[in-house]
């Protein structure tokens, strides 16, 4: 609907479009949908040299143990733990809280006031760790995030790179760790096949979106299983 609005404006307004993680397909889509004519395209690069990427193949209980040990061995380090579902957020939050971890949580099932408090507690270092769904992080610019752990595999490389990229914005070393289990694939497929905003799309648009999302999911699964350099995989993709 953006271009419909723009075309109602008088004259020929200049348009700038920005995205954090544009593949060639996305970049071309932006130019086509916004009807940009001979746009000046600037790409600043995707390699964040201070970030260390790691994938660990773990089951549910192993994931909990890994996270508990990681936080214990990284005292006073600020970090984000992303989960695929609200239930996972709440369950992990309760476990860490019982162990005395300085932790807060964030997901769309919480009230606006509580979400705002959780976000502020994390930003202003009143909480060491935030456990969140991908609803968290939009516009977050906290420079001293030392680790981002994904409790579940994200649905796409775009999602993963944006969320992992919230680590190390101060330029100091930071870790991006993805905890992968085969069950994560089924969870991701379910979320793709039961989208929250499906009512806003036609059946044809919905089917096309799901097909593309499943293709992106395959790329994400391959990232989790690759034996080659993870940084190289990310850079090749973008």
Cβ contact 120:32 at 8 Å: no
The structure's pTM equals 0.86
pLDDT at 108 over 80: yes
- Structure confidence at residue 137 (pLDDT): 64
Write out pLDDT tens, residues 176-235: 999 999 999 998 898 888 877 656 778 888 889 899 999 999 999 999 999 999 999 999
- Under DSSP, the state recorded for 140 is -
For tokens 């190390």, the residue is 168
Question: What are the tens digits of pLDDT across the range 110-165?
Answer: 999 999 999 999 999 999 999 999 877 656 778 999 999 999 999 999 999 989 99
Top pLDDT among 193 and 82 is at 82
Instruction: Please report which confidence band the pLDDT of residue 64 belongs to, taking 50, 70 and 90 as the band edges.
Output: very high
Check if the beta carbon of residue 146 is closer than 8 Å to that of residue 175. Answer: yes
Do 237 and 23 form a contact (C-beta atoms < 8 A)?
A: yes
Each residue's pLDDT tens digit, 7-35: 999 988 899 998 877 788 888 999 999 99
How do beta strands 103-106 and 129-132 pair?
parallel
DSSP 8-state symbol, 54: E
* Residue 174, pLDDT above cutoff 90: yes
pLDDT at 24: 84
Element (H, E) at 145: strand 145-150
Separate counts of helices (H) and strands (E) for the chain: 9, 6
Structure-block tokens of residue 227: 């034996």
CA distance 212 to 214: 5
């Amino acid at each position: 609907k953006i271009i419909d609005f723009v075309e109602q404006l008088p004259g020929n307004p200049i348009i700038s479009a920005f995205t954090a993680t544009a593949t060639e397909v996305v970049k071309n889509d932006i130019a086509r949908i916004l009807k940009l004519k001979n746009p000046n395209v600037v790409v600043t690069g995707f390699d964040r040299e201070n970030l260390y990427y790691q994938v660990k193949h773990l089951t549910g209980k192993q994931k909990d143990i890994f996270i508990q040990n990681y936080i214990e061995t990284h005292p006073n380090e600020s970090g984000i733990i992303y989960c695929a579902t609200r239930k996972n957020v709440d369950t992990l939050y309760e476990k860490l809280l019982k162990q005395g971890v300085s932790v807060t949580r964030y997901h769309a099932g919480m009230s606006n006031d509580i979400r705002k408090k959780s976000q502020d507690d994390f930003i202003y270092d009143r909480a060491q760790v935030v456990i969140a769904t991908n609803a968290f992080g939009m516009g977050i610019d906290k420079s001293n995030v030392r680790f981002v752990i994904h409790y579940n595999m994200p649905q796409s490389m775009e999602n993963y790179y944006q969320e992992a990229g919230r680590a190390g914005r101060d330029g100091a070393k930071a870790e991006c760790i993805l905890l992968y289990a085969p069950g994560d694939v089924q969870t991701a497929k379910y979320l793709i096949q039961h989208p929250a905003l499906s009512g806003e799309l036609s059946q044809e648009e919905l089917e096309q979106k799901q097909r593309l999302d499943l293709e992106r999911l395959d790329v994400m699964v391959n990232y989790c299983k690759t034996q080659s350099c993870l940084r190289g995989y990310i850079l090749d993709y973008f």
